[in-house]
Amino acid sequence: MRLPLYKNVTVEEIRLISRSARLRRLENADFNPFMLHSKDIAIDLLTDSGTGALSKPQRSAKEKGDNTYCGSTSWRNLELAARRVLGFPYVIPVAQGRVAEHVADFVMIKKGSIVPGNAHFDTTKANIEVMGGIPVDCTISEAYATEPLFPFKGNIDLEKLEMILKKNSRRIPYVLTTVTCNQVGGQPVSMENIKETSGLCKKYGVRFFLDIARFAENAYFIKKREKGFSRRGIAGIAKEMLSHAEGAMMSAKKDALNQTGGLILLRDEDLYLKLQPYGVLFSGGIQYGAMSGEAMETLAVGLGEGVQDRYVEQRISQAEYLGKLFRNIKVPFLEPIGGHGIFVNAGVWLPHIPWDHFPGHALNCALYLSDAIRAVEVGSLLENRDPKTRQNRRAHWELLRLAIPHRLYDERHLDYVAEAFQRLSTKRSSICGVEFIYETYPMRHFTSKFKLV
């Protein structure tokens, strides 16, 4: 047996309410698990964003929090840590990743702009479209194939990208590569693909940006799957990966192991000076960006902890462990396993539910009702409607994402999740699809209301 990486210092009791109580909670939430209360959830796999446990050094760092509006020591500590770990000279603090996207897109995107990338996630796509831009998916075709198990399914299709750059370079404010790529199952992008994408952007005079919410996990997969990196450390691989980009947008709530915050990172001083005032307008002061002094201190520590080899290996091993359990009970999920969780193929597991009755969301409701576990749909519900035709966009996969929070659960919790799926497997045919009774725009999955079909 492998020695666990952590021991529990602070604990929180898990309470399991009755099935009848869970049904009432689900009805009161209009069958939208986003609206459930945390006290009514036993295992919460909705997201790994800001839901993990802080380390002892992070809790100690909180005590040094300096909330001075400008000139804060905490901001200086964060800025230096970001430069040291991530390698960008210019740093703009923001509230979280989607605010980084909004600030950047507000300045760089005009109506009709095109933003090529690898399977834009929900907030990324929405921020682009709200500004009148057009996100264009340039993910490789292997991302959507079940066989063979391609090691870097998050890669950009370079031929497709070059075709778009040739025709539209003046309409492209930046090309975006997300590492790892959440929309296709937390799949990584190879160092070679990042270098070649960067080279194409330079060739056509277009900026190359990275979304680095899960940059350390991506560096881990480069270490394990790409030739020439097996003996290198995660921190060094990550820094080389980021060196090929002119800018980056970061949610600090994932691999930076913080509970709030985000960053915009730049090499171009002129672009930095253009974006900085809008960071103030949309998020907060130029030296805090809606983060408290305490949050900036914990982020400064978390940036370093998040690239430690032992930690990242333990992080990925949890997803691999849950995947092994699912294989044993024949639950279909996307492979190879990505970094931050398991993506169950609800469309395959629940073939009786049509795609526009959202099998992933239906399975999420059934999972909560059965065992008080919450996850999130990543499929046609999350894809939203086409902004012009207003028709539902159909996803490549109808998925239920089980995102594992950082340093929060151990293998016994994951055993409980697998047992819940085993119980559900005998009554899959009774799981109902859902339809809207109230639909919101542009981020409909957070606040819409549903009924069972």
Instruction: Point out the catalytic residue in the list 40, 105, 122, 371.
Output: 122
Same domain as 244, residue 110: yes
* Count of beta carbons in the 10 Å neighbourhood of residue 350: 24
**pLDDT tens digits for range 343-352:** 999 999 999 9
Q: Are residues 339 and 440 in the same domain?
A: yes
Quickly state the pLDDT bin for 221 (edges 50, 70, 90).
Answer: very high
Query: In three state form, how does the secondary structure of 292-345 look?
Result: CHHHHHHHHHHHHHCCCHHHHHHHHHHHHHHHHHHHHCCCCECCCCCCCEEEEE
Q: Which residue from 120, 81, 38 is spatially nearest to 252, judged by alpha carbons?
A: 81
Residue 216 has a pLDDT of: 98
pLDDT at 444: 93
Q: Residues 6 or more apart from 327 whose CB is under 8 A from it?
A: none
Boundary-marking domain end, from 252, 285, 305: 305
**Which of these three, 305, 333, 349, is where a domain ends?**
305
- The identity of residue 89, as a single letter, is P
- pLDDT greater than 90 at residue 148: no
Note the pLDDT of residue 386: 87
Do 316 and 234 belong to one domain? no
Which position has the token pair 């691989």?
237
Exposed, middle or buried: residue 70 (CB in 10 Å: 0-12, 13-18, 19+)? exposed
CB 406 within 8 A of CB 315: yes
Q: Give the separation between CA 324 and CA 318, rounded to whole angstroms.
A: 10
Domain count, the chain: 2
- Out of 81, 104, 143, 213, which one is annotated catalytic? 213
- Looking at the fold, whether 71 and 116 belong to one and the same domain comes out as yes
Sheet with 376-378: strands ordered across:
341-345, 399-403, 376-378
C-alpha 222/C-alpha 95 separation (Å) is 29
Residue 401, H or E segment: strand 399-403
Instruction: Please report where in the chains the tokens 């990505």 appear, as a residue.
Output: 338
Q: Which tens digits make up the pLDDT trace of 318-333?
A: 999 999 999 999 999 9
Whether 372 sits among the annotated catalytic residues: the reply is: no
pLDDT tens-place string over residues 367-404: 999 999 999 999 999 998 988 899 999 999 999 999 99
- Say whether both 187 and 170 belong to one domain: yes
| Amino acid occupying residue 266 | L
Of 281, 305, 329, which residue is a domain's last?
305
Query: Who wins on pLDDT, 441 or 67?
Result: 67
> What CATH number does residue 275 fall under?
3.40.640.10
The reply to whether 361 falls in a domain is: yes
Query: Does residue 69 belong to any structural domain of this protein?
Result: yes
* Catalytically annotated residue among 229, 333, 445, 450: 445
pLDDT confidence band for 149 (50 / 70 / 90): confident
How buried is residue 87: exposed, middle or buried, by Cβ count under 10 Å (0-12/13-18/19+)?
middle
The one catalytic residue in 44, 211, 255, 371 is 211
Residue range(s) defining the domain that contains residue 77: 56-305
Confirm whether 260 is domain-assigned: yes
Per the residue annotation, which of 6, 34, 69, 446 is the catalytic one?
69
Average pLDDT, the chain: 96
Same domain? 267 vs 319: no
Same domain, yes or no, for 332 and 291? Answer: no
Banded model confidence at residue 4, pLDDT cuts 50, 70, 90: confident
How high is the pLDDT of residue 147?
75
Q: What is the pLDDT of residue 22?
A: 98
The residue ranges of DSSP E strands in 47-170, in sequence order, are: 90-94, 114-117, 134-137
Is residue 213 part of the annotated active site? The answer reads yes
pLDDT tens for 91-118 read 999 999 999 999 999 999 999 999 999 9
At residue 258, what is the residue type?
A: N
* 445 a catalytic residue: yes
The answer to whether 97 touches 309, Cβ cutoff 8 Å, is no
Q: Is 406 a catalytic residue?
A: no
Q: What is the pLDDT of residue 1?
A: 64
Stretch 258-273: mean pLDDT, rounded? 98
Q: Domain for residue 314, yes or no?
A: yes
Q: Are residues 196 and 81 part of one domain?
A: yes
Answer yes or no: are the C-beta atoms of 185 and 131 closer than 8 Å.
no
Give yes or no: residues 157 and 252 share one domain: yes
The percentage of residues in the chain with a pLDDT greater than 70, rounded to a whole number, is 100
For 396-434, how does the pLDDT look when each residue is reduced to its tens digit (9 = 90+)? 999 999 999 999 999 999 999 999 999 999 999 999 999
Active site residue 120: no
**Are 374 and 256 members of one domain?**
no
Distance linking the first and last C-alpha atoms of the chain: 46
Burial environment of residue 313 by CB neighbours within 10 A (0 to 12, 13 to 18, 19 or more) = middle
- Evaluate the CA torsion angle 287, 289, 293, 295 in order and state its sign: negative
Which are the contacts of 354, defined by CB distance < 8 A and separation ≥ 6?
Answer: 433
pLDDT tens, residue by residue, 283-315 = 999 999 999 999 999 999 999 999 999 999 999
Residues 41 and 153 in one domain: no
In a shared domain, residues 291 and 333: no
Q: Is residue 2 part of a domain?
A: no
Residue 357 counted as domain residue: yes
Kindly state whether residue 328 falls inside one of the protein's structural domains. yes
Is residue 137 in some structural domain? yes
Which CATH number characterizes residue 369's domain?
Answer: 3.90.1150.10
pLDDT value of position 442: 85
Q: Percent of the chain having pLDDT more than 90?
A: 94
The one catalytic residue in 31, 88, 90, 121 is 121
Report how far apart, in Å, the C-alpha atoms of 158 and of each of 27, 141, 164, 205, 339 are: 47, 11, 10, 16, 24
- The pLDDT tens digits for 165-186 are 999 999 999 999 999 999 999 9
